[in-house]
Each structure stands twice: as structure tokens, then as C-alpha cells.
Amino acid sequence: MQTLGVIGFGTFGQLVARHLKDQIRVFPWDLKDQRKKAASLGLTWSTLEEAASCSNVLLAVPIGEMPTALAQVGPYLRPGALLMDVCSVKLAPVEWMLAAAPSDVEVLGIHPLLGPVSSRAGILGSTVVLCPGRTTRIDRIRAFIEGLGLRVVITSAREHDRHMAYSQALTHFLIRGLDGAGIVDRELQTPSFERLMRIMEALIKDSPALFRDMQTYNPFAAEARSRLLEALIRLDHDLVKATPADLDKDSPGEMDPDSSC
């Protein structure tokens, strides 16, 4: 049976273990002792060496902790092992793994487009992005993931980050901005505003560290934010310019005599 070492047993590492423990033997490890949480999932707590010497090793740590995690697992990686990560940004993690792992270790960047909150209703139909770094197993991995009822997209780390700059980083940026502006639920609200509040409620629960990571480590995020801000400023300026003309047009002397209040 294949083995999977999960390095980092926070909420996402636990999510992965919960859905894979019946398919593959999982060895969880974290700097923080999470043996009680592991036991609740029917798993035995592992040592770093046990987890890092599995046939498959998954780094489920924040992107800022990737270099440290790679230094920890590096000495225990077995020839032919598959090293993976689940960061929401892919260019930097894949480059780091390629540089840190021996040449006989395969490397694959993975981004499941789901999380602990969004997966509460189930993971079926969710998308998982695969960004090959150095691997001959992409077809087998794709088949395995699709067998779990998930949709698989294979692309380069660069193209992944280019897309995520808009579909993820920009979305979170906008939500944080709305929160900072004090936009909250109102007694009177349109259906579209209500939907926006539900999105905001879900995304605002993500940690500030995750928000910073997806903005600072994605090389395309700054451009996406800049384009949004420029568009909003132009829109605001257009509205300000239009106001005097609109007022003149609607002044009493120019009202349509057939109009009524």
C-alpha cells in the first residue's frame, strides 16, 4: 500500500488526511503535537522521519514556512518519492521543491480549489490543479484524484499563478477592502448584496497570513490589484464629473412639463 506523509497537520492537513486515509496509509506530523486530533481521525501520530520517508510526502504548511519544512524533510526523502505541496501559490513552492529535493525525487505542485469551510458540504465536483515540476506519474495521480470525484486541471505553475491573481488574490483583496470599509449586513438589502455578504462571511475567516501570502508570493497579484484600483478610481472620477451636468439637467426649469413626482 502506498504511504503519504502529511507534513503540517493544521486544518488543511487534517482535511487531506480525512479524505485520503481510506485510500492510502497516512502518516501525519507537525511541529505542534496533534496526536489527539490524529487519533480522532483514526491515525497514529508519526515522527518527522516516518512522515518524510513515505513514498509520497505532502507539505501542508503556509508558503512562508516552506523553506523550513523542506530543510526538515530533505534528509529523509527516499529515492523515487513524490514530494508535493498544497500552497495557493505555485511558482515559488515548485521552484523551492525542485531546488531542495534530490534529483531522484519527483516534484509536483498541487492546489485544491477548496478549503475546510467550502468543503463542509462535501468535496465532490471540486477542482484540483496539478502543476508538474519533475514527475513521470501525472497520469496516475490524475486518475487517482478523479477517482475521488474531483475535477483535475493540469497547467504550469506560472499559468496557475496568473489565473489565481484574479480569481483568488483579487477576490480576497476586494473582500478585505469591503470589510475594512465597514460594509456589513443591513436590514434592507438586495439579493445581490446578500450573496456578497455570504461570500464575505466565508472568505474573511481565512487567516491574515494566508491573505498576505497569496498577495506577496504571487508575482501577478500586484498588477491585478493595480488594475482594479485604477478602474475604481476612474469610475469614481467619472461619477464626480457627471454630477454637475446631471444636476443642471434635472433642474426645475428644465423639467418635462408632463412629468410627475
Say if 171 falls within a structural domain: yes
In the chain, % of residues over pLDDT 90: 76
155, 176, 193 - which closes a domain: 155
SS3 content of the chain, % helix, strand, coil (to 5): 50, 15, 35
Pair 148, 180 in one domain: no
Pair 205, 221 in one domain: yes
Say if 79 falls within a structural domain: yes
**Model's pTM, two decimal places?**
0.86
Q: How do residues 1-49 score in pLDDT, each as one tens digit?
A: 799 999 999 999 999 999 999 999 999 999 999 999 999 999 999 999 9
Say if 258 falls within a structural domain: no
Q: How do residues 102-136 score in pLDDT, each as one tens digit?
A: 999 999 999 999 877 777 778 899 999 999 999 99
Pair 69, 168 in one domain: no
Q: How confident is the model at residue 257 (pLDDT cuts 50, 70, 90)?
A: very low
Q: Which amino acid is at 75?
A: P
Domain extent, residue 228, equals: 161-246
What DSSP string runs through 143-198?
HHHHTTT-EEEE--HHHHHHHHIIIIIIHHHHHHHHHHTT----SS--HHHHHHHH
